[in-house]
Amino acid sequence: MSLSNLEDIGKISRSENSGTKALTELPDFSEADFIVRAKVPRSEIQMLVKLVEGFSHFGVVTTTNKEAGEVIIQTTKYCWPELEPAIKHMPFVVEFLP
């Protein structure tokens, strides 16, 4: 089977000889993105990046205004319930923005 287009990816199935179950459908992650705006002390932006991205790759931090300490945390709605308490317990104040 050729994987020349994205539609083929959801139709992948493994050989029955391999002893594994067939993978017939991939989950739909199109609505999984979750963006959180936050503000942290400027001196702690790098620590936030290391903690969030190093915590099982639960998110990606992007600085939007380094002078003000504003960042966005890109994660998924599936990871956020585990990532949020970890962020709230970081050794510095993280203010979530609307």
Query: What pLDDT band is residue 91 in, cutting at 50, 70 and 90?
Result: very high
Number of domains the chain contains: 1
50 occurs within a structural domain: yes
CATH of the domain at 83: 3.30.70
Strands 33-39, 70-76: pairing is: antiparallel
Q: How many CA atoms lie within 13 A of 3 on its CB side?
A: 5
Give the pLDDT confidence score for residue 92 in this predicted structure: 94
**Does residue 15 form part of some domain?**
no
Residue ranges making up the domain that contains 64:
33-98
Is residue 22 domain-resident?
no
Is residue 81 domain-resident?
A: yes
Share of the chain above pLDDT 70, in %: 70
The answer to the question of residue 6 being in a domain is no
